[in-house]
Structure 1
Amino acid sequence: MKISQLHYITASPEQAEAACRAGVDWVQLRVKNRNTADWKALALETLAVCRQYNARLIINDNVTLAAELGADGVHVGKEDLPVAEARRRLGDSVIIGGTANTLDDIRAHHAAGADYIGLGPYRFTTTKEKLSPILGLEGYRHLLTTCSSEGISLPIIAIGGIEVDDVPALLREGVHGIAVSGAITREPASQVPAFWQAIQTATSFSILENR
């Protein structure tokens, strides 16, 4: 199962459309403080956008809605339904991601059968209401080094206030990719290609280094 190296997080079908048009191939719909009907309506619109652009749709937190809509996957937070229960409900063909901030979080998601881990925050961000302790580059280095020594090879997606200039250093530490909200929402037409270029350049450099 291929996990994209660029995840876009939004609550808006219109923003998802602009990002997909600019080249995003993975959208996580994160809806907060809306009733069930509104959430479903937003999800249906976003699903239509993702299908039009051949992008994957991941529903944040809501396993029931992800199953009902036939979304590509679900992402569960630290205070949401456990990964193991989401897997039991959705089966093996659906992508399941989990939020992590500590080594214990990563170990638990790995043991429960997550397909990828959203690890962060990298720096302070206003898009998350309950922010976990900031990791910074040193935090990623420590966690990824330990994961490697323990044989944990799940794709790690860095998240939290990430800008284009942060990409090379993060990928050098071993993250698989990045999740972005604000930077892409502000200017999708320029930021999406810039993020992809930074990811591709850093990935190519890493391959050359390891030859």
Structure 2
Amino acid sequence: MSMKISQLHYITTSPEQADAACRAGVDWVQLRVKNRSAADWKALALDTLAVCRQYNARLIINDNVVLAGEIGADGVHVGKEDLPVAKARRLLGPSVIIGGTANTLEDMRAHHAAGATYIGLGPYRFTNTKEKLSPILGLEGYHNLLTACASEGFSLPIIAIGGIEVADVSALLREGVHGIAVSAAITRDPQRQVPAFWQAIQTVTPYSTLEKQ
């Protein structure tokens, strides 16, 4: 399935944060809501969808496959303890974006076989967003996993995640990741951080062999 995956994913908990980030140039938003009622979650998702539509950005819902389908979001991202990618694909159909969290080569193989659109691979370093995932990968971990994928002959766009700052972008892209997912760095100063991330991304050409053809 050919689908353009942004190289900069912004993970947020609110439509207000999404608005500030999109105004600064974000084109891909993942809404991550925890410990809220179903009604609250849906209201936040609808408000964030309206923001994304205003700025022509994609909205990905974290974890909640049913809600993503119900509101017509662009896709869903499922964690290691959520509904499996294969079930999400059956529920949402072939045209919806489905991302899957991975921390090991086994995770990556499974997501590829199940029809994921992209893989969120991490954490790069410790972060509260991915506090339950281990081990911390670092550059060496990304290098080893991407090399293994290439040797096994499969590729999906890989999005690095986990405490990533602007200074980390160049080295990560040179290891062959397609892009990065960021939460805290953009939330604290979207007006400065979003252009800085894009500038860092655009100065490096990722391995074309590891991008979705």
Q: Distance in 2 between matches of 1:4 and 1:34?
A: 28
1:178-203: CA deviation from partner (whole Å, max 9, x where unpaired): 00000000000000000000000012
1:26 aligns with 2:33: no
Aligned to 1:96: 98
Q: CA RMSD in A?
A: 1.1
CA contact (8 A) 2:124 2:136 kept: yes
Offset at 1:132? 2.4
SS in 2 for 1:127: helix
1:81-125: CA deviation from partner (whole Å, max 9, x where unpaired): 000000000000100000000000000000000000000000011
The runs of 5 or more residues in structure 1 that have no matched partner are none
TM-score by length of structure 2 reads: 0.95
Q: State the AA in 1 paired with 2:191.
A: A
Offset at 1:128? 3.3
Aligned length: 206
CA contact (8 A) 2:102 2:108 kept: yes
Q: Distance in 2 between matches of 1:48 and 1:117?
A: 26
- Once the two structures are superposed, the pairs formed by residues 121-136 of structure 1 within 5 Å of their partners are 121-136=123-138
1:55-84: CA deviation from partner (whole Å, max 9, x where unpaired): 000000000000000000000000000000
CA contact (8 A) 2:15 2:47 kept: yes
The runs of 5 or more residues in structure 2 that have no matched partner are 209-213
Q: State the AA in 1 paired with 2:76.
A: V
Aligned to 2:155: 153
SS in 2 for 1:169: helix
1:62 aligns with 2:26: no
TM-score by length of structure 1 reads: 0.95
CA contact (8 A) 2:157 2:178 kept: yes
Q: State the AA in 1 paired with 2:192.
A: S
Identity %, equivalent residues: 85
Offset at 1:129? 4.4
Q: State the AA in 2 paired with 1:183.
A: A
Q: State the AA in 2 paired with 1:166.
A: D
CA contact (8 A) 2:103 2:133 kept: no
Offset at 1:126? 2.0
